[in-house]
Each structure stands twice: as structure tokens, then as C-alpha cells.
Chains A and B, each alone.
Chain A
Amino acid sequence: MSSPWEVPVPVRTIEHCPTGIVGLDEIMSGGLPAGRTTLMSGGPGCGKTLFGTTFLINGARAGEPGVFIAFEEREEELVANAASLGYDLQQFIDDGLIEVDYVQVDRDQIYQTGDFDLEALFIRLDLAIRTTGAKRVVIDTLEILFAGLDDTVALRSELRRLFRWLGERGVTSIVTAERGDASLTRYGFEEYVSDCVIVLDHRVTDQLATRRLRIVKFRGSAHGLNEYPYLIDDTGVSVIPITSFDLSYAASTEIISTGIADLDAMFEPGGLFRGTTMMVSGGSGTGKTSFAASVARAACARGERVSYFAFEESVAQIVRNMGSIGVDLIDAIDEGNLQIVAGRPTQIGLEHHLSVMHRHVEREQPALVIMDPITDFEAIGSREDIKAMLVRMVDFLKQRGITSVFTSLTSRHDMEESSVSSLIDTWIQLSNEERDRRLVRSMYVRKSRGMAHSERVRVLDLDRNGITLRRVDQDTERKSAIEDGQPDDRG
């Protein structure tokens, strides 16, 4: 007999069942708990049904048939709604990979006269599972039973049995439920589900709808604790993860030029590390866009692709203004290396912006991404929201080894950018001041991770030769240049 001290430690590594929903599997360490039930709660319009549909369709595609027990929508409605996400649910039904059973519980037709159970529902579910060989089940939504049947006590005990039964069948299931006022679900189903609970939330703030997802419980598995924005559009459901809990991206040692020789010289290795994040901050007219555009052009000149997200100026404006300081972007655009995506931040919500940028980056595979300026997002989100978005964006880019440049508009009494400082590898501070009745632009490197850098303040010249940086004691040369009548009005 073995010693009682030698009890093997049960290593309960939970298996995951991928939902195929972009982002969700990442924050759930691979997917829903396989063979178990996940409770998904949310108010009206959260997209519970679409999550369920997507879960089944992705399963069917991966060779795992599924059953959809629909209390709310008929098969035709489910098919139509799935089509709005670009899915052909009907085809999966025709191929026998997904079975939809619309369960109608019509209060007007049902009269209760004594004890009952829900055995018929179990029989229907069991038949559907056996017919399709289902590995996945979605039940959407259980509250309908409470609306149609009076005996709450009997229902509760039957639903408890249902959750247990699903577990015994070994299918991976999503059961959706209406969000309650004081509890996660209206009827407290979370008591019955011990494995996984996901809460969906749909809020409208400042006339912008934001959908967020939170994993409340996920026994035996690591999961992200944050609220994650998610999107539902014609390409399906996607969750935008903050992947910071997994800082696993590689750090490149490759040095790239900023396209500004004087700036490169301020960094000990002679440029920036590829895949890092640079922020250029400063007041209005300090030359932020000029810096960003210089970096962009340098990348294009190396044959790299660049995605430039412009939130303040149109493509034509950027091209013209940069052309006037010798940063010619036209060739890069014509060659297809530079893509400028211009749009007002206020047109769409933060999450939507993030999603648009994600998709653009996934499609175009740029080596450099520019966001000019990030402070424009303040019109549509709180600082925390913006920071959260930038964290996600930076992680997303770093995981792909993509270099990024953000510009940030600072007003004199506003140094709140420090809130995003932790995200930034290289931080360039620009400023301008009036000195001797003329405008003097200056810059310095606030920080640059992983490398020594000059701590001097430089005077910044913007003219048709581009950006040049001079030491402050050489400033007298500049004075004569201005007196020669050189144009000096670029931002």
C-alpha cells in the first residue's frame, strides 16, 4: 500500500474548444471549456445568438457538428441573421452539420394542470445530438421557458438537470440567458454553471454603442480579467483582446532609420529598433506630422509597406504639406507602399476604429503603422478607454513585429500623456516658443528604451530640405536663414 503522502497531484488541465471567434479564443487560452457548459449572459441586442451561431458554424467547419435549440427565433430567422454576418447557415443545415430545433413555448396555448418535467425537451435535444453527431450545442435562451410555464420550482430543478445532462453528454455547449438586474442572469442560472460564465454588455455612451465582453468565471483555466470590446459586423463576431498578460513578443535588434539623419544620430545605435513604438508629442504646429511622415517615407524607401492612419487631415492635405518640406509621399503612394487611411475619429466608436485598423493591418501587412494623432480619440472616449485601446493596438502591432509611430497633441497644461508612457519605447517631445519675435521649434528625446540617447535639446528646422536638428548654440545660423526670407509656416 502506498503512503498517503504519495497522492499524485491531479493536474487538471482543462481542454479547450475553440470558438473560432477572433480574439475570444485568445483571451480564453484556446476556447470554451471542452465538454462543458458555458453560460453566456447579456441584455437585448448584445449578440448572444450571433455568438452561438458563430460557435456552431466554426465547429461545423472544423468537423464538429452542432445543435441549436432556439427558443426565440425560428430557423428562417436564424438563417437570415447568420447571413448578415456572412455565414451560410442554411448550407450547414442542408449538409446535416447543424440542426436547428425551434422550441416554441406559447403561453396562450399551454395550460398547466399538475406536475410535469421537461423530458420532452431532453428527448428533442438528445435526438438532435444523435442525428447530427453533435459535439457542440447552443441553447438560446432559457428564460423563454419561464415566460411560458408557471411552475418556477419545477423549471429550476429541470434546468439544473439540463446543465448536468449536458455535462454528461460530453458536448461543449453555450447556454444563453438574459442579464438580471442584481444577478448575472435574471433567474440566477449562474448557480447551476460552475465551469464558465461570460457576460456580454451593450452600452451606449455619448451616442456611441460599445459592446463589451467579460469572462466572469472560467474554472481550471487562465483567462483575461478585463472587459474586452467586441464587434459584430458583416464579417462576423470579433473580440479585441488586451493581450498584455502575454507579453511574449520577440524584441528585434534590427535598427531602422527614422529618415531624419540628425534624429538617427541622437540614438546611440543610429536609429530605432524595429518593432518598437515611437510617440511624437507636442503642441500645435510643432512638426509632429512631419516627423511621422519622414519615418513613413524612409520605410517606403526601404521597400516596406506603411499604413498611415490620419485623423485630422485628408490624404491630399498630408501629401501637399509634406511635399512642401521635402518629404515626397507621392511616389510611395503610387508604388503602393504607402497607404494613407484618413477619417475623422468621431465617425465611429473607439472599438470600431481599433477593428478597422486591425483589419487593415491584417490585410496589408505593413512594416510600419502611423496613427496621427492619437489625441483626437479624446472626442469619443475617456482617457482610460483610449489607453486601453492603445495598449491593444501596441500589443497587436508588436506581436507582428510592426514598428509604430503615434503623434500626440499636447496643450501647455496637459501632460497627461504620461498615462500612455508605459506603452511607448521612444518618446520625442516637440515644442515651439516665441523668441526674439520669431518662432523657434525645439525637440528632445524624452526616453528611448534599450539604447543610450542624446539628452540635448535641439532646435528643429523645417524647410524644403526636410527636418534638420541643430544644437542650441548653433541657433544664430538659423536667425540669418529666417532673415533670408525662407518660408517657415509648416506644421
Chain B
Amino acid sequence: MIEGDNEQIPGGSEPAWTDDSGELTGDVKEWQLRLYVAGETARSTAALANLRRICEEHLAGKYSIDVVDLLVRPQLAKGEQIVAIPTLVRRLPEPVRKIIGDLSDRDRVLIGLDLRPKD
């Protein structure tokens, strides 16, 4: 887990620890999302805003986002095989998925996160 200088963004006021999370995969109670950025660029800011909006709409109360700034913690890029910026990693529920780009294409983000089936 990331500690220290990363911005922790709690996912809503109350995490979804309850059992009524039928739409979550497996036993996962909380979606763990991590957004990799490199400095506060317009693209990173946009990606974070887009992500928050989508999460509030679809995962309210059941998610956490942590933002990793690779300019501050460059060593984390290798471990999670990050190449592109911004990269959103869905760490939980498994399987791990990576979504690159500024998350502006909302439909694709939902598909990428598996919040909406491909059709």
C-alpha cells in the first residue's frame, strides 16, 4: 500500500463494508483504485476529476482512490508496470486492470473498469 506523500482520497463518507454490495466482484467490499500521474499537469487533474465523477456515480461509498505522483515516487512505476501517464489501476476487485489516458471517454472508462459490459 502507498503511504506517506500520496494524496488519499476517501471514497465517500462511508466505505461499503456491508453485505449489500451485490454488484462487486467476489468478496471485495471496496474498490481500490490508484491513479498514477507525473506532476500536476492539466491532463492529470482532468483524469482525477473524471475519475471522481465516475466513482461517485457508480461506486458511491464503495471505493478509494490513491494518487501516486511518479515525480515524487519514481520507483513505484516499475513495480506496477506503469508506462503511460495517466494510468488508472483497478487493484481491487481482481483481476487488475489498467486504464490509460485522461479518462475523458466516459463509456470506455466504464467498460474498462468493468462497470458496464461491452456490447
Contact = CB atoms under 8 A, between A and B. Distances in A.
Interface string B48-81: 0000000000000000000000110011011001
Interface stretch (A114-122, A167-175, A316-324): A114-122
Interface in B66-98: 70-71, 74-75, 77-78, 81-87, 96-98
Contact of B112 (A105, A113, A123): A113
A120 B103 contact: no
A11 interface: no
A110 interface: yes
A5 interface: no
A127 B75 contact: yes
A170 to B, nearest CB: 20
B102 interface: yes
A110 B98 contact: yes
Nearest to B111: A111
Contacts of A115: 43, 101-102, 104
A112 B100 contact: yes
B107 to A, nearest CB: 9
Contacts of B70: 119-120, 123
A124 interface: yes
A183 interface: no
A104 interface: yes
Contact of A149 (B71, B75, B84, B108): B84
A305 B107 CA distance: 79
A119 B108 contact: no
A111 B97 contact: yes
B100 A149 contact: yes
Contacts of B111: 111
A203 to B, nearest CB: 34
Given A113-B108, A113-B109, A118 B101 contact: no
A117 B104 CA distance: 15
Contacts of A149: 84, 100
Band of interface residues on A = 20 to 34
A73 interface: no
A143 interface: no
Contact of A114 (B36, B77, B103): B103
A417 interface: no
Contacts of B85: 116-120
Interface string A100-143: 01011110011111111111110110110000000000000000
B78 A118 contact: no
A121 B100 CA distance: 13
Interface string B18-46: 00000000000000000010100001000
A152 to B, nearest CB: 14
B3 interface: no
A445 interface: no
B43 A123 contact: no
A124 B108 contact: no
Nearest to B47: A114
A115 B111 CA distance: 17
B105 interface: yes
A123 B74 contact: yes
Given A109-B96, A111-B108, A127-B75, A121 B83 contact: yes
A121 B86 CA distance: 12
Contacts of A367: none
B115 interface: no
A133 to B, nearest CB: 16
Contacts of A239: none
Given A113-B104, A121-B83, A101 B78 contact: yes
A9 to B, nearest CB: 43
Contacts of A117: 43, 84-85
Given A105-B83, A111-B112, A123-B38, A116 B75 contact: no
Contacts of B82: 120, 124
A145 interface: yes
A112 B101 contact: yes
Contact of B84 (A101, A106, A118, A126): A118
A370 to B, nearest CB: 57
Contact of A109 (B75, B98, B105): B98
Given A111-B98, A113-B112, A114-B103, A119 B74 contact: no
A460 to B, nearest CB: 74
B113 to A, nearest CB: 8
B55 to A, nearest CB: 14
Interface of A: 101, 103-106, 109-121, 123-124, 126-127, 145, 149
21 contacts: A101-B78, A103-B81, A104-B81, A111-B111, A112-B108, A113-B102, A113-B104, A114-B101, A114-B102, A116-B86, A116-B100, A118-B83, A118-B84, A119-B84, A120-B36, A120-B82, A120-B87, A121-B84, A123-B74, A124-B82, A127-B78
> Lowest 6 CB-CB distances: which A-B pairs, in order?
A114-B101, A111-B112, A114-B102, A114-B104, A119-B85, A119-B38
Given A109-B96, A112-B108, 20 more contacts: A104-B81, A110-B99, A110-B100, A113-B99, A113-B101, A113-B105, A113-B108, A113-B109, A114-B103, A114-B104, A114-B105, A114-B108, A120-B38, A120-B77, A120-B84, A120-B85, A123-B38, A123-B74, A127-B75, A149-B100
Interface of B: 36, 38, 43, 47, 70-71, 74-75, 77-78, 81-87, 96-105, 108-109, 111-112
